[in-house]
Amino acid sequence: MGGNNKCSLVVMSGDMDRIMGAFIIATGAAAAGMDTTMFFSFWGLNAIRKEKINTGRGFLGKMIGLLNKGGIDRLNPSRFSFGGIGRLLFKKMMKDKRVTSLPELLQLAIDLDVKLLACKMSMDVMEISRESLIDGVSDIVGVATFVKEAAESEINLFI
């Protein structure tokens, strides 16, 4: 083990496949004893949102809330989405091959003490409240917090 033993990830994407990669790397790093932080911004916030909770205060915010549903189990793949059918196909294929599902990966990350941080600015833009995020989120932060984590990290990824 060399240097400072930290891993940090920016999760900008809300695509099922990218979120899966992000959580596999984060849990793998945590399992190797690394102090791991995931910083969720913009579409990435969907992975740490509760399901079936409407967001938005103003008209535009409510429209985005209607079109952009949260919950890690509801994410669509970046390709072959087919208006939501692709998600079900991928979920079936993953289940058949006994790949760990996204909700399970999220729980594993929480169990392994992966720190889940939410970007305050994106939450403001999309009108996503703290209450609509899952309880596992440890803090709501800004760029300076991430930069500090990233500067101390041996592994730093942007997903």
Partner 1 sequence: MKGDLVQNSIGQLCPMPILMLAKNMKKMQPGQVLEIHADDEGAHADVPAWCAQTGNELLGTEDGGGFTKYFVKKAG
| Residues making contact with partner 1 (CB under 8 A) | 1, 24, 27-28, 30-33, 97-100, 108, 112
Are residues 136 and 126 in contact, defined by beta-carbon separation less than 8 angstroms?
no
Least distance between partner 1 and beta carbon 6 (Å) = 13
Q: Which is nearer to partner 1, 1 or 144 (CB)?
A: 1
User: What is the C-alpha separation between 7 and 153, in angstroms, rounded?
Assistant: 5
Least distance in angstroms from the C-beta of 95 to partner 1: 12
* Nearer residue to partner 1 within complex by CB, 105 or 137: 105
Nearest CB to partner 1, comparing residues 64 and 108: 108
The answer to whether 99 touches 21, Cβ cutoff 8 Å, is: no
Distance CA 120, CA 143 (A): 9
Cβ density class 87-116: b for 16+ within 10 Å, e for less:
beebbeeeeeeeeeebeebbebbbeeebbb
Question: Least separation, in Å, of the C-beta of 102 and partner 1?
Answer: 13
CB nearer to partner 1: pick between 96 and 135: 96
Helix (H) or strand (E) holding 8: strand 6-11
Q: Which is nearer to partner 1, 109 or 133 (CB)?
A: 109
From the CB of 21, what's the least distance to partner 1, in Å?
Answer: 11
CB of 108 to partner 1, least distance (A): 6
CA distance 157 to 146: 12
